[in-house]
Structure 1
Amino acid sequence: MPRTRDADADSGDAASGADLDAIAAELYALPPERFTAARNDRAAQLGRADAARVRELRKPTVAAWVVSLTVRDGRLAEAITLSAALREAQDDADAAALAELGRQRRRLVQALAGEAVTLAEDAGVTVSASARDDIAATINAAVMDAAAATAVMTGRLVRPLVAGGFDPSDLSDAVGGSLPGVAPSPPPPDDLAERRARKAAERAAREADRAQADAERRLAAAEADLERRRTRLAHLRERADELRRSLDDVEAQTEVARAETEKAEAEHAELTTAVTRAARAAEAAREALPAGS
């Protein structure tokens, strides 16, 4: 029995999942307002089965389209790299690394969200305030979760994402076309133990370096303090020598003054005695005068 034309068309046009993803990638690269018409035109070129699958592709929200635009521009690679580092730090329970990566994540998400809005506006697409929030939330979800990152990096995002625990089934309606597998499973226990041991050794080396640097700072401070004290001691010794020399000079002058004072006192006593004798002699002479003279 001859096959019908529709059956031949469906057989010849039957597209694989990869073909559908390629079609979806082309459609989701278009601005949202052009999506529906372009999708329907593309579906009209296919057989019934594939046309139906293409028509099932949903129009992306503006926020989802902007995030996909950022993916195509290559600006989310750093965020995804940071995502892997963040998960590694979580596995190793490295609190210091987690805190630093958290700060980096927040700065990177805000920067990428701003760049994404600029890209959209350059492409002639207006981004509302709520869409800006959805863009930042979606980029943050990609940084925080491997499955969300996988969905975002397809460049075929349909709706925005919010950070949380994702299973592939949770994201099946977030992507137009197929959803690739989630990030590779964690390394085997031996590799993980080796990685943790390496990190522990690195932490111990950093702590030893910090302890050495702290000891060297304290030694330098002690040496500076010792030098100040030695300088002060030398100054005081010089001052003491000066004071001793001054004291010796004062004592010598005191001895001279004492001798001179004793000599003056003796002369004063002799003169006092002489004056007393002279006064008595004068008094006696006056008494010896004849009466009436």
Structure 2
Amino acid sequence: MSIAYQGIAGAWSHLACRAVHPELEAVPCPSFEDVFEIVEAGGGDLAMIPIENNLGGRVADIHQLLPHQALHIVAEYFQPIRHELLAVPGATFEGLKAVYSHPQALAQCRRYLRKRGIEPRAASDTAAAAERVAQRGDPSIGAIASALAGELYELSSLGRDIQDEQHNTTRFIVLAREKNTGPADRDTDYITALWFQLRSVPAALYKALGAFATNNVNLTKLESYIGSENFDRARFYVEVEGHEFDAPVLSALEEIEYYTDIVRVLGSFAQHEFRQQRIKP
């Protein structure tokens, strides 16, 4: 069995795969679209997808891709992110002029780079940036990536834990071709993810969200984006507490159908233990 991820060996998605499913073969893919396609086609069993970071915000493209793929969310994972500043052996911090990394990683280290006058340059992912630096052999450029990437591409570390905040964390979702089935475990706290497209009528969003309020269903996430070519239909990615087969959630889902053109439940999955932690500033 295997789990697909975007990037190359040493990427944070690769580390998430190893943390959640160390028993599975981790399969690298060039893009998020490739990850979805390979699992949908049966070339992989699971997909590991980053969805948001508490410093850099949501991962671009994911919310646009989720409505158009056939997979189901079956789990979530919160990955602590500890970035390293990597360069070729012999390079010095004083000689470093620019660093490559994924835009999310650059955003997470923005203050660190700005304070030191280092130019940020975007790359497809963190591990690819490390690989590029190793291949070029230029001591004036570096990469922001994981310690594993440094080991794999034989780079030296010029700085550890360089993220702007020590509680830097990326949330991943795990997707599969089949949804979690069966009744909810009464001893487990769940999250249900869905997306819907509103009808273009007054107060549609107010009434749709009211369906959750009147059924005492707590929203934990609400993301909006335009979902039509005429800019007249808004789409929303929503996460709520509870299982889709819980009576309150079922009632809320039935009610929002009156105010939406499309509703799709992406999956119900157990809340990760990270949600129960309280991070001190």
Same fold at TM > 0.5: no
Larger helix percent: 1
User: With structure 2 as the length reference, what TM-score do the two structures score?
Assistant: 0.22
Q: Taking CA–CA contacts closer than 8 Å with sequence separation of 6 or more, which of the two structures ends up with the larger relative contact order?
A: 2
User: With structure 1 as the length reference, what TM-score do the two structures score?
Assistant: 0.21
Question: For the pair shown, which has the larger CA radius of gyration, 1 or 2?
Answer: 1
